[in-house]
Amino acid sequence: MEQNLLESEPLPGIVQLTLNRPAARNALDSGLMGALAEAIARHGERPATRVIVVRASGTAFCAGADLNAMLALGRGALDANVADAETLAALLLAVRRCPKPTVAAVQGPAFGGGVGLATACDIAVGAEEALFRLPEVRLGIVPAIISPYVVEAIGLRQARRYCLSGETIPAARAREIGLLHEVVPGPNLGGEALRIATELAAGGPGALAHCKQLLADVGGHGPDEARGGALANRLARLRAGDEAQDGLAAALARRSPGWAP
């Protein structure tokens, strides 16, 4: 059985976690979210790990939530629906609270939860071909769990535009608004991520952990709100509604939803 998450150590102390569901464009199902959260927590406690790089197999970084799973969750019991939303919240908090610096290397499309994953990491570098999108409203839902991370990265004004429009954000524009720190040619992405990781690894392990906590303290506590039940319940209840069911089913069927102009 193919592993949905690959682990490697391309340089001493630098761990690379690779999302490995390329056929599904690395969509975040419960298995992948659980594996990634567990690996982040384990390496966060491992003294030998200095920096964690999050990458992906195939042509897409992460297509966000698995649409088939979302459709089924909306049709099922509310408790399971909420639990799934909280799984994503727990993953992003695990990334954000990891005492080791994290670097996202985005080589292609990053949609919905993929944007959340990139913005939860401390640093994000993208290939020139990288594309970002927050398509939730076009599916009849909202980017509830990822919203604190997105707003923190790009500011409320830009978030109003891109969360409401669902339009595509090219790599150059993503850098302008703060979604990415750097944009490099595709073939150079891995090398640039490792270069940044090497720079990060030059810091003291304890200092890096304390610095991350310092920045969290002075930057406010917005991302912690993603763990609250209100946002998970909002997403879960919207997924169960007629509009979301139509939007999700329409996306899977490659048709327009009923409310489309």
Would you please indicate which residues are annotated as catalytic (active-site) residues? Answer: 136
The label of the residue with tokens 């917005």 reads 222
Q: How far apart are CA 118 and CA 70, in angstroms?
A: 21
Q: How far apart are CA 24 and CA 16, in angstroms?
A: 20
Measured in whole angstroms, the distance separating CA 51 from the mean position of its chain's CA atoms is: 18
Q: What is the DSSP letter of 65?
A: B
Q: How far apart are CA 197 and CA 172, in angstroms?
A: 22
Q: How far apart are CA 143 and CA 136, in angstroms?
A: 6
Alpha helices in the chain, H assignment, sequence order: 30-45, 67-75, 78-97, 113-120, 147-165, 171-177, 189-201, 205-218, 229-239, 242-253
Handedness of CA 223, 224, 225, 231 (dihedral sign): positive
